[in-house]
Amino acid sequence: NKSLNNISRRDSQLFHDNLRDEGLAPATCNLYLRSLKTAMNRAIQWEIIDGPYTAVGIQQFREENMVENYLTDEELKRFVNVLRTDANRNICNILLVLLNSGCRVGEILSLRWTDCDLDNRVIRIAASNSKSRRMRSIPINPGAAEILERQYQITKDFDYCFINPRTQTRYQTVSKVFERIKKLARVNIRLHDLRHNFASMLINDGRTLYEVQQILGHSSPNVTQRYAHLTAKTLEEAANCASDRIDEVMKKAS
128-164 tens-digit pLDDT: 776 666 788 889 999 999 999 999 999 999 999 999 9
Q: Is 54 helix (H, G, I), strand (E, B) or coil?
A: coil
Whole-Å CA distances, 81 to 70, 140, 190: 17, 21, 18
Do residues 198 and 99 make contact, with C-beta atoms less than 8 angstroms apart?
Answer: yes
pLDDT exceeds cutoff 90 at 116: yes
Residue 13 exposed, middle or buried by CB count within 10 Å (0-12, 13-18, 19+): middle
With cut-offs at 50, 70 and 90, classify the pLDDT of residue 187.
very high
Which of 25-29, 102-106, 232-236 bottoms out in mean pLDDT, i.e. has the lowest? 232-236
Whole-Å CA distances, 13 to 24, 41, 223: 15, 16, 28
What is the Cα–Cα distance from 209 to 134, expressed in whole angstroms? 20
Name which of 31, 41, 30 is nearest 7 in CA terms: 41
Q: Give the model confidence (pLDDT) of 190-210 as tens digits.
A: 998 998 899 888 888 878 878
Confidence at residue 233, expressed as pLDDT on a 0 to 100 scale: 64
Instruction: State if pTM tops 0.75.
Output: no
Task: Mark out the alpha helices in 110-231 (DSSP H runs).
Answer: 142-155, 175-185, 193-204, 209-216, 221-224
